[in-house]
């Protein structure tokens, strides 16, 4: 019975998400493409392992992304952001595999010397496939066990679906001085509402619901040793919603330039989990690790063990001397 419910959740699955949403900029909002206040380019990767304490086949998600600023010296007070990302996910004993490949483009326009407005979109290809032979359905339950050899009346029209997808977003940043940076954005995902189903296509019920994402964050320099970063994230899709908020701080272990930093933070996903985070940055390469400590009723089954998540990110300038002359939009050591 439990497995049939798990399969039902696959059919109406919500989008992939990360607890470290601030380290997944392109999946959060396409307007974040090239929205890099302290560098010309960045590369990042995230690995997430969820429900390993209660599932024989836990959910595993991998994301790789890269974006860069282009035409910075060709456009007056503005530039383009170009990037892309790949998402790969394996969920449950049915071997549900998701693969998504997106390309992103955004335009960024300075508004005076202390604010920036951005708009962007991404286009992508998504594929989902499942191994029906690994699934068990209610009519295979004999009262005690699921018998995989018993024929089932459930028939999948296909076990491999692909579609094109599109997201759009806006972003705004305000940075009145070297110690304060404020930022907020809004994006709509699946604006074309593609069809996604393993059953016979039904235009009304198999179309993916549009997903709305909003976020706000700040980067505040407390002193030459400490920078804090409060942030909040909200998403809504169909009848499901998620709110996460918290704070992390960077502590400078080196001198000017912050070549070595310690990171620590704590976030809360409302009604679901506490998310402590620790990290280390050396020469603009950042490593962060977080763990979802379940606070919902699910902790009766997983003993507070939710998900682990690891992220690595590299930022840089095309020419390192550029960083000394270009205006940096956010606080730095």
Task: Count the domains in the chain.
Answer: 1
User: Residues near 10 by Cβ (< 8 Å), separated by ≥ 6?
Assistant: 91, 92, 94, 96, 130
Q: Supply the DSSP symbol for 195.
A: B
Residue 106 lies in a domain: yes
Residue 333 lies in a domain: no
> Which tens digit of pLDDT belongs to each residue from 96-135?
889 999 999 999 999 988 999 999 999 999 998 887 766 6
Residue 332 lies in a domain: no
> Which tens digit of pLDDT belongs to each residue from 189-230?
999 999 888 777 666 678 899 999 999 999 999 998 999 999
> Which tens digit of pLDDT belongs to each residue from 250-291?
999 987 777 899 999 999 999 889 999 999 999 899 999 999
Residue 35 lies in a domain: yes
pTM of this structure: 0.85
Residue 152 lies in a domain: yes
- Which CATH number characterizes residue 74's domain? 2.40.160.60
Burial call 163-185: b when 16+ CB within 10 Å, e when fewer:
bebbbbbbbbbebeeeeebbbbb
By residue range, what is the domain housing residue 145?
Answer: 2-325
> Which tens digit of pLDDT belongs to each residue from 310-331?
999 999 998 876 555 567 888 8
> Residue 67 CB: number of other CB atoms within 10 A?
26
> Residue 133 CB: number of other CB atoms within 10 A?
9
């Amino acid at each position: 019975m439990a497995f049939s419910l798990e399969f039902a959740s696959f059919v109406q699955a919500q989008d992939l998400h990360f607890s470290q949403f601030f380290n997944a900029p392109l999946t959060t909002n396409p307007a974040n493409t090239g929205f890099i206040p302290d560098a010309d380019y960045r590369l990042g990767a995230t690995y997430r392992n969820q429900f390993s304490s209660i599932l024989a086949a836990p959910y595993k998600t991998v994301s790789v992304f890269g974006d860069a600023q282009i035409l910075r010296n060709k456009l007056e007070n503005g530039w383009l952001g170009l990037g892309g990302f790949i998402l790969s996910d394996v969920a449950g004993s049915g071997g549900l595999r998701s693969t998504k490949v997106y390309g992103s483009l955004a335009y960024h326009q300075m508004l005076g010397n202390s604010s920036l407005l951005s708009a962007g979109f991404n286009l992508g290809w998504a594929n989902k496939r499942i191994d029906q032979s690994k699934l068990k359905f209610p009519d295979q339950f004999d009262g005690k066990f699921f018998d995989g050899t018993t024929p089932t009346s459930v028939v999948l029209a296909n076990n491999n679906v692909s579609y094109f997808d599109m997201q759009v977003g806006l972003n705004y940043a305000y940075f009145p001085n070297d110690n304060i940076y404020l930022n907020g954005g809004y994006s709509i995902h699946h604006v074309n509402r593609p069809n996604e189903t393993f059953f016979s296509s039904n235009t009304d019920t198999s179309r993916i619901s549009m997903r709305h994402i909003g976020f706000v964050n700040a980067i505040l320099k407390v002193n030459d040793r400490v920078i804090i970063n409060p942030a909040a994230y909200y998403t809504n899709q169909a009848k499901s919603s998620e709110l996460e908020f918290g704070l992390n701080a960077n502590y400078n272990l080196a001198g000017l330039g912050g070549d070595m930093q310690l990171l620590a933070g704590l976030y809360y996903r409302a009604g679901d989990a506490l998310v402590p985070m620790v990290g280390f940055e050396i020469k603009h390469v950042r490593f962060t690790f977080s763990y979802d400590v379940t606070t919902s009723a699910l902790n009766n089954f997983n003993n507070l063990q939710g998900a682990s998540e690891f992220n690595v990110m590299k930022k840089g300038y095309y020419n390192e001397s550029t960083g000394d002359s270009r205006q940096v939009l956010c606080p730095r050591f």
